[in-house]
Amino acid sequence: MSTDAVLPQLLEEWEPVIGLEIHVQLGSVSKAFSSSATTFGEPPNSLTDPLVLGMPGTLPVYNQRAAELAVALGVATSSKIRARSRFARKHYFYPDLPKGYQITQSDEPLCEEGTLDVLMGTQRMAIRLQRIHLEEDAGKSSHHGTVSHVDLNRAGVPLVEVVTAPELHSAEEAAEFMRSLHRLVRWLGISDGDMEKGQMRCDANVSVRRRGEDRLGTRTELKNINSFRFVQNAIDNEIVRQIRLLETGERVLRETRLWDATANASFPMRSKEEANDYRYFPDPDLPPLLIDGPMMARVMQTLPTLPGPRFERYREWGITGDDARTLIGERALSDYFEAAIAALPSVGCNAVAHAKAVGNWLLTTLLGALNRDGKSIAESPFPATALAAIVGLIEGGTISGKIAKDVFDEAYQTGAEPAAIVAAKGLVQISNPAELLPIISRLLVENPKQIEAYRNGNEKMLGYFVGKVMKATDGKANPQVLNDLLRKALVPA
Ligand code: ADP
Ligand code: MG
């Protein structure tokens, strides 16, 4: 039976507990401790230097830009930020690590005790973070039969490791945590978070316990789960595996397991008993990392409004949870939306009352057109002020929603102002009954059968007449006014 089928029943008695360790590549131009570039996709081993290669006599200097990016994440997660944090050496032997140790932070990490604002579906939840620390990436090994290759382009690239408290309780929550972190790092501009390029990588610690039990169960650590879908599959799979072991009286072994997405299964990699002794000690080549007042001030000054508070505000404006979630999916989209809302008063609209209309136009009509053209919101040829103008024209009763679509198409194609298009083409809708009544009177004379049908209870006939009037007015009749007039006219006096 598949995991999906058995899990709900197992979860009646068992509670999963998950803690994530997520590595995010910081988007600095140069490496963490040396000046080589961090560019992706260059020829193997073209981005190295004596420090990355572990040459004797080389000395590391921490990248100030990377520190600033990490501090931004710390501030955005309300973490305690150490004014003076320490680098440590973590020793292990592997071909992709020429120095023989990785520079990381152990006892005195940059950030502690933060929280990440996670959007679980359309519900906000604060998930506690144990720490966010700085480290450098290792190189990349690839194995081809009996030959192995090492590419050190990635070695020394600056990373942050975000470690959560063990308080996620399902694979879905873990995946939502990852999505929220992904959204935040992109929002802050500290990383593209491109998982296909390895810019965001997740290890998941998973245990289960009987419901009502306070103590944590023995956990395993799943390595190498590098897509939102894999996170979910891998964790669900592990939860079921552990519950089955415990229900048959066996033990969960404290081990590291490797997720194999192709096999849709995990395999033991190493047990805790064989675990490396990393012999951590403070790196004698590196002074403490100092986060001074001016750097904090710079970070605070450039910190944008975060997605969580914006989500909340959109909900207050009457936007649905799903739409609000889409609107904060990307900062450029949310900024566009905010700019359109800010422009509403200048077209005679109340910002809050018409936010929902702006949201609908943005998410359906504009995104539809951009998708069709393979453009991102940042490349939109249709500015936010024009979107506000369209909504203003509709809400102010100048044009109907249907005409507005045509105006949009033209404005999108030509860059002309919506109001100018309406004026030039005479698209102003007809709301004056005196103009509509003669047309209606003529139709009543010409269509006795249809009137009869309507009067005998065939409500659909109303649509027939609406269509006729629309045709006669090139679609310019105000639908609301027209409906009222028709209803009155069709009922016998
Ligand atoms: P390590 O030193 O092995 O990395 P940590 O104590 O730093 O272990 O924890 C690493 C991660 O494991 C954290 O995200 C933490 O929340 C999670 N974790 C710890 N214990 C458990 C457990 N029993 N079940 C699930 N996750 C756990
Ligand atoms: Mg760890």
Check whether residue 268 and residue 389 sit in a common domain. Answer: no
Indicate which atom in ligand 1 lies nearest the CA of residue 165: 16
Last residue of a domain, one of 401, 425, 449: 425
List of E strands, 26-112: 80-81, 84-85, 88-91, 101-104, 111-112
Indicate which atom in ligand 1 lies nearest the CA of residue 207: 24
Check whether residue 101 and residue 222 sit in a common domain. Answer: yes
CA-closest candidate to residue 87, choices 277, 279, 281: 281
What ligand is nearest to the CA atom of residue 164? 1
Is residue 37 helix, strand or coil? strand
Check whether residue 224 and residue 322 sit in a common domain. Answer: no
Checking if the pLDDT of 272 tops 80, the result is no
Residue bearing the CA closest to ligand 1, atom 3: 221
Indicate which atom in ligand 1 lies nearest the CA of residue 206: 25
CA-closest candidate to residue 413, choices 389, 378, 376, 382: 382
End-to-end CA distance of the chain: 69
Torsion angle defined by CA atoms of residues 287, 288, 289 and 295, in that order, rounded to the nearest 10 degrees: -100
Check whether residue 236 and residue 316 sit in a common domain. Answer: no
Averaged over 290-302, what is the pLDDT? 93
Averaged over 464-480, what is the pLDDT? 85
Check whether residue 437 and residue 420 sit in a common domain. Answer: no
Check whether residue 275 and residue 336 sit in a common domain. Answer: no
Check whether residue 286 and residue 319 sit in a common domain. Answer: no
Last residue of a domain, one of 425, 455, 481: 425
Check whether residue 19 and residue 147 sit in a common domain. Answer: yes
Centroid of ligand 2 to alpha carbon of 116 (angstroms): 18
Q: Which domain holds residue 479?
A: 433-490
Averaged over 381-390, what is the pLDDT? 93
What ligand is nearest to the CA atom of residue 135? 2
CATH number at residue 468: 1.10.10.410
Count Cβ atoms within 10 A of the Cβ of residue 364 and give its class: 0-12 exposed, 13-18 middle, 19 or more buried. Answer: exposed
Check whether residue 268 and residue 343 sit in a common domain. Answer: no
Check whether residue 226 and residue 329 sit in a common domain. Answer: no
Q: What is the largest CA-CA distance in the chain?
A: 102
* pLDDT band, very low/low/confident/very high, at 239 (cuts 50, 70, 90): very high
* pLDDT band, very low/low/confident/very high, at 275 (cuts 50, 70, 90): low
Q: Decide if 77 contacts 129 (C-beta within 8 A).
A: yes
| CA gyration radius, the chain | 30
Q: Decide if 24 contacts 181 (C-beta within 8 A).
A: yes
Residue bearing the CA closest to ligand 1, atom 14: 19
- Per-residue pLDDT of 323-382, as tens digits, reads 999 999 999 999 999 999 999 888 888 878 889 999 999 999 999 999 999 999 999 999
Q: Decide if 406 contacts 476 (C-beta within 8 A).
A: no
Structure token digits, residue 167: 């308080």
Averaged over 74-94, what is the pLDDT? 95
pTM for this one? 0.88
Check whether residue 392 and residue 477 sit in a common domain. Answer: no
Q: Decide if 481 contacts 489 (C-beta within 8 A).
A: no
Check whether residue 288 and residue 408 sit in a common domain. Answer: no
- Per-residue pLDDT of 28-45, as tens digits, reads 999 999 999 999 989 999
Q: Decide if 466 contacts 449 (C-beta within 8 A).
A: no
Site residues for ligand 1, CB cut-off 6 Å: 17-21, 163-166, 205-207, 216-217, 219
Among the residue ranges 52-56, 185-189, 207-211, 488-492, the one predicted with the least confidence is 488-492
Mutate to test the pocket of ligand 1, among 18, 205, 221, 257 (most ligand atoms within 8 A of CB): 205
Averaged over 264-276, what is the pLDDT? 76
Q: What share of the chain is helix, strand, coil (3-state, %, to 5)?
A: 45, 20, 35
DSSP secondary structure letter of residue 477: B
- Total domains in the fold of the chain: 3
Residue bearing the CA closest to ligand 1, atom 13: 19
* pLDDT band, very low/low/confident/very high, at 3 (cuts 50, 70, 90): low
Last residue of a domain, one of 300, 326, 348: 300
Residue type, 445: V
Helices (H), 398-447: 401-414, 418-425, 433-446
Q: Decide if 436 contacts 468 (C-beta within 8 A).
A: no
| Contacts of 301 by beta carbon, 8 Å cutoff, 6+ apart | none
Distance, CA of 13 to CA of 436 (rounded, Å): 68
Kind of pairing between the strands at 123-136 and 115-120: antiparallel
Centroid of ligand 2 to alpha carbon of 205 (angstroms): 9
